[in-house]
Amino acid sequence: RLGRANSNCPLEVFWRAPLAVLVIDVDHAPFRPDILAETRAEGVTSILLIGLPAAGELAGILGLGWRDPNRLPGAAPDRGSATILLQAAALIAVNLQNALLVERLEAALAAERRITGEHAALASLTLVADMSASLPALADTTLSQVVAFLGAAAGAYALLGPDDRLIHVAHVGVGDD
């Protein structure tokens, strides 16, 4: 999590106030060393961090960097740009949350499609059993369907006989051995 356990972390302010705007010197930025080095190499000297609130809670943080700290929004007497930043952050947060919800919905739909496919395969196995005249025909048909549905390379059926020995019934993709 974003430094929640570390009260010395500059990001701690966002846990208390998701709408916070924080301006920090790049040397105090809570970045990984590789990102900090790249940021410095680009000449960035000041970082502006804005909380991305969604439903009153922190959904993320937007970070922007400037080479000239005098060009930061709100650095001049005109505070209008700071208000625009807060409004933009709120819109970004809502859009990101919507995108996450769409991803979750798509994953749920994919899982539902998979379950529907499994159900259809099981239903067809039941219908095959009703239509098959013999055990070998039923075994061949159902085994072929199961192997195809699961994407297996091969499969075999063996049933337990009266003497507790396995009796080969059907196979797909393998020999009789």
172 SS3 class? strand
pLDDT given at position 7? 45
Contact (CB, 8 A) for 164 and 147: no
Asked whether residue 96 carries a pLDDT value surpassing 50, the answer given is yes
pLDDT of residue 75: 53
**Lowest-confidence segment of 9-23, 75-89, 103-117 by average pLDDT:** 75-89
User: Of the spans 1-15, 59-73, 94-108, which averages the highest pLDDT?
Assistant: 94-108
Tell me the chain's radius of gyration from C-alpha atoms: 31
% the chain with pLDDT above 90: 9
Measured CA angle at 96 (ends 93, 101), to 5 deg: 125
Return the pLDDT at 86.
76
- Sequence-separated (6 or more) residues with CB below 8 Å from residue 69: 23, 45, 46, 75
Phi and psi torsions of 41, nearest 5°: -60, -30
pLDDT band for position 4 (50/70/90)? Answer: very low
Please write the tens of the pLDDT for every residue from 56-91.
777 788 888 888 877 776 555 455 666 777 788 888
pTM: 0.50
pLDDT band at 176 (very low <50, low <70, confident <90, very high): very low
Query: If pLDDT is split at 50, 70 and 90, which confidence band does 111 have?
Result: very high
Q: Supply 30's token pair.
A: 């809570």
Q: What is the pLDDT of residue 108?
A: 92
Residue 139 is predicted with a pLDDT of: 77
Length of the chain: 177
Over residues 126-150, the pLDDT tens digits come to: 665 566 567 677 777 778 887 887 7
* Residue 132, pLDDT score: 59
